[in-house]
Every structure is written in structure tokens, then in C-alpha cells.
Amino acid sequence: MQKQKKESYFWTSFSDLMTSLFFVMLVLFVLTVALLHNKIKATQSQLNKIEEIEEATNKIDTTYFEYRKEYKKHILKIQANFESDKFTENDIDETIKEELEKAGYSIKDSIASITKRYSNIQYLLIIEGQASKDKASDTHNYELSYKRALTLKRIWDKKGIDFGDNCEVLISGSGTGGTMREDEEKLNQRFLIHIIPKPGIIEASKQIQP
């Protein structure tokens, strides 16, 4: 009789323990699902914010720029028309130079407008020079395209065009390489502009208020 009572107490206690464990696991499961749901919502919110920022950087004045979505680059529609092997500011027609200055002010205004809405985001502004295939200069077209891009930056600097503390300017030259080229070689003698949110955008986007 005593043995049966002990067994009864054991199974009652065991049943209570299993019931308690079940409720603990149930609570942990509910908490895990809730946390994952909130994390997914936060991640989606950040992705939406990133898409908004990228879309905003693509809306530069179409008077001076044409955006190529497949390459995610802006073409500066103003043809500098350098002569073969030329790259200095003095080699650019004055009328063209004035248009280049206006394009610089347009970029400045665009970045300032984006910054008002997304003040925590940092940007890269890349000025990329290209060159046409020319037998006289094929041996140093990469260097030549870089110097032309640097000339454009100096034109903007002389006018005091400042893109802000949150925008880092990089100069590059792709010469006759790269994927974004036209069939008519003369049209490749141009500048490409990239406005890119820096890699830290996801962390910064956490600080952006909706």
C-alpha cells in the first residue's frame, strides 16, 4: 500500500513538472516568434528606406544628366570634346565649361535636398572619365581619362562648389574599358557620374526617423 502511494506521488509530481515545462516551452516559443516577427519588420523597413534613398539619388536634373538604370550610372550629357591627347581646362570650350559648372551646381543642390531628408547618410560622388579608342592615344587612355575627370573636379572647385561634409568625392578614369560604352566611339569621350550611398547605409538607416 505504501509503495502504491509513493508511485502515485511520483507520477503526480512528474505530471506537474512536465506540465510546467510545457508552459515554459510554450512561452519561449511565443517570445521567439514575436522577436523574429519584429526583426523581419525592422529589416523590411530598413530595405524600404534604402530603396527610397537610392531612388532619390537617381533623380538628378535631366537637363544635364541621363540615368542608365541597367548600369546604375548617370551620363553627363555635356560633351567636353577634348582634342586628341588633351585634358586641361584650357582645352574646353568656354560655353561647354559654363554648362559643366551648372551641372556641378545641380549635383550640389540634389545632394543637399537628399541630405535634408536623410541627414545621417554618407555618399560617394565618383567622377569617372572615359576616352574613345584613338590610335594616337591608346597607350595611355586610362591616364588621359583620369586627368579629364580631375579637370572637371577642378572646374567645380574653382567655383567653390562644395558637395557637403557627408559627400566624399572620388576621381577615376576607365579609359577605353568598362561595360558602359557606346558603339560610336566619339560618344565615349565623356564623363560618368556616380552618386552612391556608402556601405554603412544599413546602420545609418536605423537612426532615420520615418
Average pLDDT score over residue span 59-70: 81
53 domain-assigned: yes
Q: How far apart (Å, rounded) are the C-alpha atoms in residues 133 and 182?
A: 11
Instruction: Give whole-number Cα distances, 92 to 87, 148, 155, in Å.
Output: 8, 10, 11
| Residues β-bridged to residue 195 | 125
Q: What is the tens place of the pLDDT at every residue in 172-181? A: 998 888 778 8
Contacting residues for 142 by C-beta, under 8 A, at least 6 apart: 131, 173, 174, 175, 176, 177
2 domain-assigned: no
**Which residue is listed with cell 509530481?**
13
* CA-atom Rg of the chain in angstroms: 30
70 domain-assigned: yes
Q: Residue 209 has what pLDDT?
A: 45
**Start-to-end CA span in the chain (Å):** 71
CB 64 within 8 A of CB 76: yes
20 domain-assigned: no
119 domain-assigned: yes
CB 74 within 8 A of CB 67: yes
Q: How far apart (Å, rounded) are the C-alpha atoms in residues 147 and 173?
A: 8
pLDDT band at 162 (very low <50, low <70, confident <90, very high): very high
9 domain-assigned: no
Average pLDDT score over residue span 7-14: 59
Q: What is the tens place of the pLDDT at every residue in 180-190? A: 888 887 777 78
Q: Residue 4 has what pLDDT?
A: 53
Average pLDDT score over residue span 184-202: 74
142 domain-assigned: yes
Mean pLDDT value across the chain: 77
**Structural domain boundaries enclosing 163:** 47-205
What total number of domains does the chain contain?
1
37 domain-assigned: no
- Helices (DSSP H) in 59-138: which residue ranges? 94-117
Q: How far apart (Å, rounded) are the C-alpha atoms in residues 87 and 146?
A: 9
What CATH number does the domain containing 121 carry? Answer: 3.30.1330.60
3-class secondary structure, 82: coil
